[in-house]
């Protein structure tokens, strides 16, 4: 069995990071840190963090490093026990990648692998305009490929299904541009350290998942 570690799931918007993450959590029991989800909850709760992040998230720009980095640092520091970490949506900039590299070592869970879901823009656009999410538990659906059994209602918890504000086509295009301009460089940071597992993000969910799960080894 591997020791404590951090795994990053990386890729453009709509690559399927959250979808793969839900399976990894189920099978490996990771402590899950998804910065997009943390920010959306803060916005919904109208907290101070939410008010600082709102304008950026709604327009598809990156929330500044000085806002996002402390959230992740604090979560890693505060996590008790021996669980490994799964990071989704973080890092997105080189300063974030550098911070994670050091913080993960400090808490005894070094970054072991970066799963890169390489997914073309046209696939992403198609998926995100059809994506829906549960307001209560965050479960992700797709009206075409993974619809809920009952329209508008979450299969798992019965919560209401909604469309994310940043999933409108124009905002998705901005998010894709931001990925190209600001986030793609992070891949090189991890390639230089030999940590990248590249997966074709356009493959069916279970096919990608089988490769990812196998590469992470024994279920913990
Ligand atoms: P975030 O929430 O991280 O969004 P994202 O990276 O744009 O990714 P998504 O959640 O849109 O997509 P996903 O890859 O998880 O795809 P999913 O599995 O849902 O960030 C949102 C915003 O927060 C950012 O724009 C920014 O403003 C801010 N932010 C967050 N982190 C930040 C940071 N570190 N620094 C600065 N700002 C930050 O799948 C998509 C759809 O496709 C679903 O409908 C799903 O059912 C379907 N699907 C998935 N996989 C497949 C498949 N293989 N085949 C067919 N359909 C599939």
What tens digit of pLDDT does each residue of 127-162 get? 999 999 999 998 999 999 999 999 999 999 999 999
Catalytic site includes residue 54: no
What is the arithmetic mean of pLDDT over 22-40?
Answer: 96
For the CA of 35, the closest atom of ligand 1 is 31
The pLDDT value recorded for residue 2 is: 52
Q: What's the CA gap between 136 and 67, in Å, rounded? A: 25
- Asked whether residue 16 is domain-assigned, the answer is yes
156 falls within a domain: no
In what order do the strands lie in the sheet containing 131-134? Answer: 140-142, 131-134, 161-162
72-103 pLDDT per residue, tens: 999 999 998 889 999 999 999 999 999 999 99
Going across the sheet that includes 6-10, the strands are 31-34, 85-88, 6-10, 111-118, 196-200
Tokens of 90: 């973080």
Is the CB of 12 within 6 Å of ligand 1? no
Task: pLDDT band for 35, please (50, 70, 90 cuts).
Answer: very high
How high is the pLDDT of residue 8?
Answer: 98
- Say if 175 falls within a structural domain: no
Whether 208 is covered by a domain: the verdict is yes
Closest Cα to atom 21 of ligand 1: 36
Q: Quick check: CB of 84 below 6 Å from ligand 1?
A: no
Q: What is the mean pLDDT of residues 49-57?
A: 96
Task: Assess if residue 163 is contained within a domain.
Answer: no
Tokens standing for 159?
A: 């919560």
Given the residues 5, 75, 92, 113, select the one marked as catalytic. 92
- Which residue is listed with tokens 């050091």? 102
In a domain, 171, yes or no: no
Instruction: Read off the CATH number of the domain in which 95 is found.
Output: 3.40.50.300
Q: Is residue 65 part of a domain?
A: yes
Per-residue model confidence (pLDDT) at position 71: 96
Structure tokens at 173: 């295009």
**Between the CA of residue 113 and those of 161, 187, 189, 193, what are the distances in Å?**
33, 12, 12, 10
The answer to the question of residue 102 being in a domain is yes
Distance in Å from the first CA to the final CA of the chain:
7
What phi and psi, each to the nearest 5 degrees, are found at residue 7?
Answer: -120, 135
**pTM, entire model:** 0.94
The number of domains in the chain is: 1
- Counting ligand 1 atoms within 8 A of each CB, the residue from 19, 39, 140, 142 with the most, and so the one to mutate, is 19
Tell me if 16 CB under 6 Å of ligand 1.
Answer: yes
Structural domain span for residue 207? 6-119+183-214
Q: 198 to each of 26, 108, 110, 188, 195, how far by Cα in Å?
A: 22, 25, 19, 12, 10
- 51 labelled catalytic: no
Decide: helix, strand or coil at residue 179: helix
């Amino acid at each position: 069995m591997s020791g404590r570690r951090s795994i990053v799931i990386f890729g453009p918007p709509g690559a399927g990071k959250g979808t793969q993450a839900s399976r990894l959590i189920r099978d490996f029991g990771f402590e899950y840190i998804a910065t997009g989800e943390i920010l959306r909850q803060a916005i919904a709760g109208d907290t101070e963090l939410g008010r600082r992040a709102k304008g950026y998230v709604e327009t598809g720009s990156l929330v500044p490093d000085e806002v996002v980095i402390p959230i992740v640092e604090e979560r890693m520091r505060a996590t008790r026990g021996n669980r490994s970490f799964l990071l989704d949506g973080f890092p997105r900039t080189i300063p974030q990648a550098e911070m994670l590299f050091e913080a993960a070592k400090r808490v005894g869970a070094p970054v072991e692998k970066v799963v890169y879901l390489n997914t073309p823009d046209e696939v992403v656009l198609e998926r995100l305009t059809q994506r829906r999410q549960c307001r209560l538990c965050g479960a992700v659906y797709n009206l075409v490929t993974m619809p809920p059994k009952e329209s508008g209602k979450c299969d798992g918890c019965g919560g209401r299904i909604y469309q994310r504000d940043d999933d409108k086509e124009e905002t998705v295009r901005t998010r894709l541009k931001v990925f190209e301009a600001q986030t793609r460089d992070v891949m090189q940071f991890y390639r230089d350290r030999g940590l990248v597992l590249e997966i074709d993000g356009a493959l069916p969910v279970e096919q990608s998942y089988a490769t990812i799960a196998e590469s992470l080894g024994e279920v913990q």
